[in-house]
Structures are given as structure tokens and as C-alpha cells.
A = this chain, B = another copy of it.
Amino acid sequence: MTQEPTNVTADRLASFIARAFLAAGLPGQDAQSLAGLMVEADLRGSDTHGVIRLPLYIRRIRAGGIKAVPDIRVISDRPSAALLDGDNGMGHLVMRRAAETAIEKAKSTGIGWVGARMSNHAGPAALYVTMPLKHDMIGLYFAVGSNNHLPPWGGSESLLGTNPMAVAVPALEEPPIVLDMAPTVAAYGKVRLKAQRGEPMPVGWMIDREGKPLTDPKRADEGYLLPIGDYKGYGLSLVIGLLAGALNRAALGREVIDFVKETGKATNTGEAIAALSIDAFMPAADFKRAVDQVIRDIRGSRRLPGVERIWLPGEQSHAKWLERRAHGVPVAKGLRESLDAVARDLGIAPLE
């Protein structure tokens, strides 16, 4: 029997997450930052990348797979580029610092590109790629996925991840354009969801070891995700992995540690963020007005039969954010139970 999820305000959710990280040994300010970022993910509708990951994060911290008190530091520094070593701390803290550093560099030189090594899963790319927006900057983000489910095109060995890339572009009156995508047809989280629900997957999501369509999500371990645009998505995953992984001396290919399965091992996750100052090219207000126009042209353009609305990238997340900020984040029964278990383990008050 499925129970309706109950809605929890963002503030209560954040306060629970902060309690949990504090009890797991993180400094108070880091626990607060993490709570803010993770709730932001849930507010935006990234249900697979927000509070649902808390039990795993805590498990990794307790197993020694993530450091509670890392020394996040710049290990290479140029006027417009830097490399951070995250010292195996929570990825959110590493990438917030990376975004801030990129923004500072962009203020003085027009662009800042900051890579991170020894980081961890940092939630949805949208959290960081949107940080440059309020400084009238464009954000770009690349990350190595936290496990490998994608073979090279023609291959049957998962050497690549669903390495995400994201681009955020500010508008004036319209919500910003935020593209946050993995180069596979389906995310692995969607496959897990199909398995939980006992539903088959559509043809085109996965193939088996013979290259035949795989539609039974319970057999996902025997198969591989398919890239978007065949060899194109494979190429995208590879170059994203090189930019976010190899260039930062972070794990890529055979070196990637499964974040879910190997909880005690450092993942050496790599991510990169760039901030591009609009004023280096044209007055920011003029640019944002032009983006508004592009958005309105697209939204108002002719639709295929049966299509009710043309959406811009990030527009649905923006609508969800407004709705959940007002009415709370839905917490399903299973999620609440796992959060209650975290509370018992850590000896903290449960989620109200």
C-alpha cells in the first residue's frame, strides 16, 4: 500500500539535516551550509540528489569514506584557474568553495575556472552552476559521475559514468536558463525507480551484454545505460570526464570507486566549475534582456499537435522551487523511515 507523502517545510528539513551532520562530527557552520544546499536540491525537485542521500552520506562519514573535518585548500593557483584539493570532505562544501573561487577570479579577469580533486558527490550540478548568476555571470559545470554504468560506444564494459554537465544563464525578468544533464538517455536513479515500482523500462534506456534492448530493471546489473545520440553521448561523457577528472588528478574510468557500494573508500571525485563575466562581453542588462527575448520567442513559438507548453531548461525546476518553498517538500514514507533510522543511530531528534 502506497502512502501519500507528507510535506515538510524547507526550514524543518534543513534543521534536521544540520543536526545529523553536527552529530556525525562536522563543524556547525559546515553542517548548516550542507543543510542549505541539500534542501535547495529538494526544493528544485532533484528528489534523487537531495535529502534522500543523507543516510548514505552519514554512512560514508562513519565508515571513514568521507572526512568530517577536511582541510579544503587551493593546491594550484593562476589568475583565472585553480585546483582545489577537497581532502575527501563533503562534495557540497568543496564545490561551494570552488564556485566562490571561480566567481572571484571572473570578477578580476573575466573568467574563472576551478577544478576540484578529492571531492565527493555534491548533489545536483544546478546548486553550483547557478551561483555565478547573481554576479551577472554565466556558470558552467562538469563532474565525474559517482559510478560507472556507461560503456564506450560499441563496448560492453562500463568504463564511463553518467558524467553530468550544466550551464546556467541569467535572464532579466524570466527565470534563468539552467541546463543540467547527463549524457545518457536515462539516469541510473530512474532505472532504480522502475525496479522499485515493478515497471518495465522503455526500449532505448539500456542494453544487455549482447547489445539487445534490456527492459527488466531488476536485471540492470547485467546491462549498460545507452548514451544520448549514440557515439555523441559517449564522446560527451568522455570529455566531461577528462575536464572534471583527469585534469584535476581525480578518478576516471577504471579508477572510479562506486559511491554507493564502497562506503569506506575515498572516491577522489573530480568536478569543475567556470564563471564567465557577462560584462567582459557586453553590458549585463542588455544581455539579460536579450535572453528574456529568446525565452519568450521559444515559449511562444508554434507547437506540435498535443503539446500544451514549451518549457525552457530549468523552468520546471524553478516552478517546483516556488511551489515547495510555499507548501513544503514532500517526504515519502520510505524516505521518512530511513531518516528516522539516521536519527536513532545518531541519537538526534527526528525530522518534525
Q: B-contacting residues of A (Cβ < 8 Å)?
A: 76, 78-83, 108-111, 113, 115, 138, 151-157, 159, 167, 169, 177, 179, 181, 183, 185, 207, 209-211, 228-229, 231-236, 238-239, 241-243, 246-249, 252-254, 274, 276-278, 280-282, 287, 290-291, 293-294, 297-298, 301-307, 309-313
Contact = CB atoms under 8 A, between A and B. Distances in A.
Given A79-B110, A109-B109, A247-B278, 10 more contacts: A111-B113, A154-B310, A155-B304, A167-B239, A179-B236, A179-B238, A235-B313, A238-B312, A247-B276, A253-B293
A113 B115 contact: no
A95 to B, nearest CB: 16
Contact of A246 (B153, B232, B243, B291): B291
A138 B243 contact: yes
Contact of A109 (B79, B152, B278, B301): B79
A138 to B, nearest CB: 7
A294 B246 CA distance: 9
Contact of A228 (B154, B159, B229): B229
B81 A277 contact: yes
A297 B79 CA distance: 35
A164 B247 CA distance: 23
A154 B297 contact: no
A188 to B, nearest CB: 15
The 6 closest A-B pairs by CB, nearest first: A228-B229, A81-B110, A78-B110, A81-B280, A154-B307, A80-B109
A298 B179 contact: no
Contact of A233 (B79, B111, B229, B239): B229
Nearest to A240: B167
Contacts of A157: 301-302
